[in-house]
């Protein structure tokens, strides 16, 4: 059932995915001192900035080679070089992350060659930023593939020759999670005395403080010095059951630098988080800090407190594949029945990954669709009588139509405040999600009740 | 301030010294790597045509172009809401190789069957320009087969900037003009051009015109309808607000049908009143003029005393403006003056030399005037002039907030009606509630300034 059932499916209405270069810019924003740069026409950069700003409410500068008609005909090389020069002059970045667009992929710009020419003609003596290029034609794949490909390209370009393995140093490739999630991962690593290199790290660059002076490039991000040393880590932990092998940074580190890799699901819910913590225990050969055993205990305690309000409720989950997998697995744990799991992504793994993450908790397999859009989600929802939706802001219209609450997770959240502060990961994230879901259902029940009620 | 400015942009920023004539470079391509706030040709077309609510708007391109423009305008409809859906052919690699015409044809047929629109606009994107799909012939075929007019919009992103997109949109609409029945249109009739019904603004404007005895034939394009545009050549006068966007259509209608046009602005009470008088004057109708005076007197009596209250609180505060079109900036300068505030910086993405000259005339000495600016410059202007409020769009918002400066959203995504008499009151209210908010006192930049002042 992973293929759309309708033979005439041609157009896309209200897509449930974003384009590949978008993912690239987000990943580059999580590297210290880096400036994302789109090689294409000006609109791509401006649109993506606007889209990202509306979620994070943070400045998001994306440089562009601003190609015009002449460049489209004669090649974008000169503009790319000019743009790199201007960005270097004005922003003094440590790294410029160059992602291609559908335009430059199709006119056939040889970006690695142009960059090579640029670097060899640059003035010596002047400090030049590191250049990392990734091919992200927007007509194939989604923003998530662009994101992972960028992480992998960065590792490939920046990581240096392995020296001795550094004890208790772990690479974490978290995928596209929220700044709050990354902060939580950092806290876990710190409490455990793990030297973690989290790539990318958007915890500060896309959720920064108010400032006295404007920063040319927001502070924070994965330090380039740490990326250089990723090949010397004890292990790599990569989140994402849908990540294809050719986009896996963990596999690359394993192949190139023999760093053992652990590819896990995104730690959303109890069991996926358990697996993450067990993996860390195995790698570090030390038990988890008590703080987290206690968090786990409190989470399970609250499962009991809340179970009656959520049991048997029917949920529609949509969004990026890995988030859908994680959320579905969590819902299965608390007795909510996922009736539809949908994503615009098309990894081919969604169904298998959901079943494997949910194990025997799912009595009945939900409808699972890849490569779908909101038109189809809406059509299918009509027959499913869901009690709630879980996903990003784009489900808002559907939630209004069905008169069921929407629990906002993932990206983009652009009709509410605080998208960047949503915690999805770990026991604490699961706790937050449980409270959010149970309370949304209680609110709905209270609102619908003719008399209302106050005690639970 | 010089440090924020790229060398090749130094002629695009001037300071009003009131004595020398304006010598500003404008209407040129954005510098590569400059992080321009501009979008692209496609964006220009999309924003103009988007509010036509009973047409299918199909983006022929990769998914991003459609997704990033999905329902981003606050353009309301009093009936159909087709414009709020995001249709795309979601071009894939295989279409790039073999051409996307077949897919476009199928998509159009599918969407026309599904939604029964009054017409279909098909937007060309960068990639379509490169692979050379013949939109014209596909649209012709579909029109013939379905009886629904399909219109190509030649809006390849790289073929210029937003202004070129406005022209493409006007060219597309011009194909509808002249195809409808005009028999029962009275002589005292107008078309409203260049208002997009953000937050219902065009409903207020229409009502004001109707109160003085005018018939409005077509809204172009706010709350727009295909059939109205088909017959709009039957109106006696085109009243053009956002002239950048729709003046081209007005000019074509003048040439083709001899319909004159006047330029107006609905922003600020002075300009709003002038707009009503200008239309009344055009028809040389004493009764109408009397009604106009009466209507304006009533509206003013309502809002003026309240505006005086705001003026007391806002007197002497400093404002900076950065908007898409320069014409809007004129009205904003006047509106701030009405509130007793000083405009210290004003800029636009796409202004012309004559518009910048006019800005020099109406602003005070020392005011910064900038063309096609970027975050780096804008933040340096905000700090240099120590502004109290910045007016712009979503991409400008985080620049202001990060530096602890109040902000007012005045682009096409706004949710508050800012046009007309009530709109002026809303604007004053919004400026007041942002400038006077206590939160700025806690911002690091303001806190430092205050500390310095108290030490002096």
**Tens of pLDDT, residues A283-308:** 999 999 999 999 999 999 999 999 99
Q: What is the pLDDT of residues B151-162, one digit of tens each?
A: 999 999 999 888
All residues at 6 or more sequence positions from A120 whose CB lies less than 8 Å from its CB, including other chains: none
Residue A357, pLDDT above cutoff 80:
yes
Q: What backbone phi and psi angles, to 5 degrees, belong to A19? A: -90, 160
- End-to-end distance of chain A based on CA atoms, in angstroms? 40
B119 within 8 A of B55, measured Cβ to Cβ: yes
Q: Output the CA angle A373-A379-A382, nearest 5 degrees.
A: 135
Low-confidence ranges of chain B (pLDDT < 70): 1-3, 243, 447-456
**C-alpha span between B383 and A448 (Å, rounded):** 51
Mutation site for A-interface testing, chosen from B63, B87, B406, B407 by largest number of A Cβ within 10 Å: B63
Spatial CA neighbour of A53 closest among A33, A34, A94, A25: A25
CB B385 within 8 A of CB B400: no
Is residue A291 within 8 A of residue A188, CB to CB? The reply is no
Q: In the prediction, which pLDDT does B456 show?
A: 54
What does the DSSP 8-state code read for residue B32? T
- Which residues of chain B make contact with A415, given a CB cutoff of 8 A? none
How buried is B104 (Cβ within 10 angstroms: 0-12 exposed, 13-18 middle, 19+ buried)? Answer: buried
Instruction: Produce one character per residue of A42-73: b if its CB has 16 or more CB atoms within 10 Å, e if not.
Output: bbbbbbbbbbbbbbbbbbbbbbbbbbbbebbe
pLDDT tens for residues B307-356? 999 999 999 999 999 998 888 898 899 999 999 999 999 999 888 888 99
Taking the C-alpha atoms of residue B131 and residue B92, their distance in angstroms, rounded to an integer, is 12
Size (chain B), residues: 456
How far from A345 is each of A370, A371, B212, CA to CA, in Å? 6, 5, 55
Q: Using a CB–CB cutoff of 8 Å, tell me whether B119 touches chain A.
A: no
- CA dist B152 and B166 (Å) reads 14
Interacting residues of A431 by C-beta distance below 8 A, sequence separation 6+: A295, A298, A299, A302
CB B140 within 8 A of CB B302: no
The interface predicted TM-score (ipTM) is 0.94
Query: In terms of CA atoms, which chain B residue is nearest residue A87?
Result: B33
Residue (of A279, A283, A287, A235) closest to A260 by Cα position: A235
Compute the distance between CA of residue A156 and CA of residue A112 in angstroms, rounded to an integer.
14
Alpha-carbon gap: B126 to the closest alpha carbon of chain A (Å): 6
Q: Rounded CA gap, A259 and B211, in Å?
A: 76
Q: Is A272 helix (H, G, I), strand (E, B) or coil?
A: helix
* Residue the block writes with tokens 């988890």: A288
Closest of A255, A252, A256, A261 to residue A234, by C-alpha: A261
Tokens of B236: 């006696």
The Cα B266–Cα A142 span in angstroms is 42
Residue B266 φ/ψ, nearest 5 degrees: -100, 10
Asked if B36 and A66 come within 8 Å (Cβ–Cβ), the reply is: yes
Q: Which pLDDT value is given to residue A167?
A: 85
Q: Are B136 and B105 in contact (CB under 8 A)?
A: no
As a whole number of angstroms, the distance between CA A377 and CA A313 comes to 18
Question: What would the two tokens of residue A403 be?
Answer: 């008169």
Q: How confident is the model at residue A9 (pLDDT cuts 50, 70, 90)?
A: low
Cross-strand partners of A408: A391
Q: According to the model, what pLDDT value does residue A124 have?
A: 56
**Are A164 and A127 within 8 A, CB to CB?**
no
User: DSSP characters for A332-372?
Assistant: HHHT-EEEEEE-S---S-HHHHHHHHHGGG-SSPPEEESS-
What does the DSSP 8-state code read for residue B178? T
To test the contact with chain B by mutation, choose from A23, A25, A46 the residue with the greatest count of B C-beta atoms within 10 A, namely: A46
HSE-CB of B239 using CA atoms within 13 angstroms: 31
A418/A7: higher pLDDT: A418
CA distance B62 to A5: 23
Which residue in A247, A73, A50 sits closest to A155, CA to CA? A247
Chain B nearest CA to A96, separation (Å): 11
pLDDT digits (tens, 9 = 90+) for B13-22: 888 887 777 7
DSSP A125-185: TSPPPEEEEE---TTSS-HHHHHHHHHHHHHHHHPPPP-SPPTTEEEEE--S--HHHHHHH
Question: What are the b/e assignments for B366-404, b being 16+ CB within 10 Å?
Answer: ebbbbbbbbbbbbbbbbbebebbbbbbbbbbbbbbbbbb
Each residue of A236-263: pLDDT tens digit? 999 999 999 999 999 999 999 999 999 9
For residue range A53-108, what is the model confidence (pLDDT) as tens digits? 999 999 999 999 999 999 988 999 999 999 999 999 989 999 999 999 999 999 99
pLDDT at A219 over 60: yes
Cα–chain center distance at B338: 22
Q: How far apart are CA B130 and CA A105, in angstroms?
A: 11
Q: How many beta-carbon pairs under 8 angstroms link A with B?
A: 234
Q: Determine, for residues B158 and A103 on separate chains, whether the beta-carbon distance falls below 8 Å.
A: yes
> CB distance A210–B157 less than 8 Å?
no
Interchain contact, A50 vs B394, CB within 8 Å:
yes
Q: What is the Cα–Cα distance from A240 to A237, expressed in whole angstroms?
A: 10
Mean pLDDT of chain A: 95
Cα-based angle A223, A226, A227 (whole degrees, multiple of 5):
90
Confidence (pTM): 0.94
What is d(CA A87, CA A98) in angstroms, rounded to the nearest whole number?
12
Q: Which of B32, B131, B393, B448 to mutate to test the interface with A (most CBs of A within 10 A)?
A: B32
Measure A139 CA to nearest chain B CA, in Å.
5
Asked if residue A231 lies in contact with residue A162, where contact means CB atoms within 8 angstroms, the answer is yes
Q: Does residue A274 have a cis peptide bond before it, meaning omega lies within 30 degrees of 0?
A: no
Higher pLDDT among residues A381 and B19, named by residue: A381
- pLDDT of amino acid B300: 95
| pLDDT for position B17 | 83
pLDDT value of position A454: 85
Give the gap in angstroms from C-alpha B86 to the nearest C-alpha of chain A: 5
**Cβ pair B40:A51 closer than 8 A:** no
C-alpha A231, offset from chain centre:
23
Residues 13-52 of A with CB under 8 A from B: 13-15, 17-19, 21-22, 37, 40-51
**What is the phi/psi pair of residue A318, to 5°?**
-145, 160
Spatial strand order in the sheet of A63-64: A63-64, A34-39, A95-100, A130-134
Q: Which residue of B has its CA nearest to A23?
A: B64
Please count the CA atoms within 13 angstroms of the CA of A273 that sit on its side-chain side.
26
DSSP characters over A127-144: PPPEEEEE---TTSS-HH
Q: Are A386 and A314 in contact (CB under 8 A)?
A: yes
Q: Given a cut of 60, is residue A2 above it in pLDDT?
A: no
Q: How large a percentage of chain A has pLDDT more than 90?
A: 90
The span from the CA of B292 to the CA of B280, in Å, is 7
User: Which tokens go with A10?
Assistant: 């041609």
């Amino acid at each position: 059932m992973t293929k759309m059932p309708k033979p005439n499916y041609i157009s896309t209405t209200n897509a449930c995915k974003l384009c590949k270069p978008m993912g690239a810019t987000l990943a580059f924003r999580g590297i210290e001192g880096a400036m994302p740069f789109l090689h294409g026409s000006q609109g791509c950069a401006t649109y993506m900035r606007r889209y990202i700003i509306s979620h994070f409410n943070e400045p998001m500068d994306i440089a562009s080679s601003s190609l015009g008609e002449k460049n489209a005909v004669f090649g974008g090389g000169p503009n790319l070089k000019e743009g790199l020069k201007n960005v270097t002059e004005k922003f003094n970045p440590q790294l410029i992350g160059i992602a291609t667009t559908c335009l430059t992929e199709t006119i056939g710009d040889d970006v690695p060659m142009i960059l090579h020419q640029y670097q060899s003609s640059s003035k010596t003596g002047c400090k030049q930023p590191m250049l990392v290029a990734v091919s992200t034609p927007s007509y194939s794949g989604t923003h998530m593939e662009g994101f992972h490909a960028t992480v992998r390209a960065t590792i490939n370009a920046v990581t240096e020759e392995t020296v001795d393995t550094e004890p208790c140093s772990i690479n974490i490739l978290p995928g596209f999670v929220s700044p709050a999630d990354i902060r939580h991962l950092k806290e876990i690593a710190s409490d455990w005395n793990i030297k973690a290199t989290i790539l990318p790290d958007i915890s500060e660059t896309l959720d920064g403080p108010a400032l006295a002076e404007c920063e040319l490039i927001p502070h924070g991000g994965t330090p380039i010095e740490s990326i250089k040393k990723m090949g010397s880590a004890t292990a790599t932990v990569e989140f994402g059951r849908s990540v294809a092998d050719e986009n896996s940074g963990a596999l690359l580190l394993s192949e190139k630098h023999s760093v053992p890799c652990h590819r896990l699901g995104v730690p959303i819910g109890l069991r996926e988080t358990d697996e993450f913590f067990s993996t860390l225990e195995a790698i570090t050969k030390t038990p988890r800090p008590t703080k987290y055993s206690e968090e786990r205990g409190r989470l399970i305690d609250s499962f009991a407190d809340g179970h009656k309000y959520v049991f048997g409720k029917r949920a529609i989950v949509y969004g990026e594949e890995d988030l859908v997998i994680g959320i579905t697995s969590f819902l299965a744990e608390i007795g909510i029945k996922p009736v539809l799991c949908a994503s615009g992504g098309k990894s081919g793994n969604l169904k298998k990954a959901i079943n494997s993450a949910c194990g025997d908790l799912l009595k009945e397999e939900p409808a699972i669709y890849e490569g779908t859009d909101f038109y189809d989600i809406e059509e299918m929802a009509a027959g499913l009588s869901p009690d709630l939706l879980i996903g990003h802001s784009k489900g808002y219209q559907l939630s209004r139509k069905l008169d069921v609450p929407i629990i906002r997770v993932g990206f983009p959240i652009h009709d509410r405040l605080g998208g960047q502060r949503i915690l999805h990961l770990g026991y604490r994230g699961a706790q937050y999600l449980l409270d959010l879901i149970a309370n949304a259902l209680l609110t709905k029940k209270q609102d619908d009740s003719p008399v209302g009620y106050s005690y639970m | 301030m010089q440090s924020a400015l790229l060398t090749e942009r130094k002629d695009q920023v001037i300071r009003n010294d009131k004595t020398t004539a304006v010598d500003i470079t404008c209407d040129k391509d954005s510098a590569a790597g400059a992080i321009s706030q501009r979008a692209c040709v496609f964006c220009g077309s999309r924003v103009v045509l988007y509010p036509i609510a009973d047409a299918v708007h199909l983006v022929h391109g990769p998914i991003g172009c459609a997704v990033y423009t999905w329902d981003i305008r606050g353009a309301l409809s009093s009936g159909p809401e087709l414009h709020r859906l995001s249709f795309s052919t979601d071009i894939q690699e295989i279409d790039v190789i073999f051409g996307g015409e077949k897919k476009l044809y199928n998509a159009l047929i599918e969407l026309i069957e599904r939604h029964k629109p009054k017409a279909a606009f098909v937007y060309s994107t960068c990639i379509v320009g490169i692979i050379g799909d013949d939109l014209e012939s596909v649209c012709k075929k579909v029109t013939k087969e379905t009886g629904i007019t399909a219109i190509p919009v030649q809006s390849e992103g790289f073929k210029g900037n937003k202004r070129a997109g406005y022209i493409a949109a006007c060219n597309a609409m011009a194909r509808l003009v002249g195809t409808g029945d005009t028999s029962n249109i009275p002589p005292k009739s107008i078309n409203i051009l260049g208002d997009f019904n953000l937050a219902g603004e065009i409903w207020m404007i229409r009502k004001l015109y109707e109160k003085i005895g005018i018939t409005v034939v077509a809204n172009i394009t706010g709350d727009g309808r295909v059939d109205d545009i088909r017959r709009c050549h039957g109106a006696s006068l085109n009243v053009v607000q956002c002239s950048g966007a729709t003046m081209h259509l007005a000019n074509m209608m003048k040439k083709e049908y001899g319909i004159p046009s006047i330029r107006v602005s609905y922003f600020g009470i002075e300009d709003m009143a002038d707009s009503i008088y200008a239309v009344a004057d055009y028809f040389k109708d004493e009764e109408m003029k009397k009604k106009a005076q009466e209507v304006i007197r009533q509206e003013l009596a309502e809002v003026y005393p309240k505006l005086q209250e705001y003026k007391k609180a806002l007197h002497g505060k400093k404002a900076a403006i950065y908007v898409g079109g320069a014409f809007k900036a004129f009205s904003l300068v006047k509106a701030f003056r009405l509130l007793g505030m000083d405009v210290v910086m004003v800029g636009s993405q796409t202004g012309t030399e004559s518009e910048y000259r006019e800005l020099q005339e109406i602003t005070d000495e020392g005011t910064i005037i900038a063309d096609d600016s970027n975050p780096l410059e804008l933040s340096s202007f905000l700090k240099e002039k120590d502004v109290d409020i910045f007016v712009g769009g979503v991409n400008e918002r985080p620049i202001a907030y990060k530096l602890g400066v109040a902000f007012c959203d005045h682009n096409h995504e706004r949710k508050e009606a800012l046009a007309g008499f009530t709109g002026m009151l809303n604007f004053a209210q919004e400026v007041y509630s942002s400038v006077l908010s206590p939160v700025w006192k806690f911002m690091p930049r303001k806190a430092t300034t205050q500390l310095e002042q108290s030490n002096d």
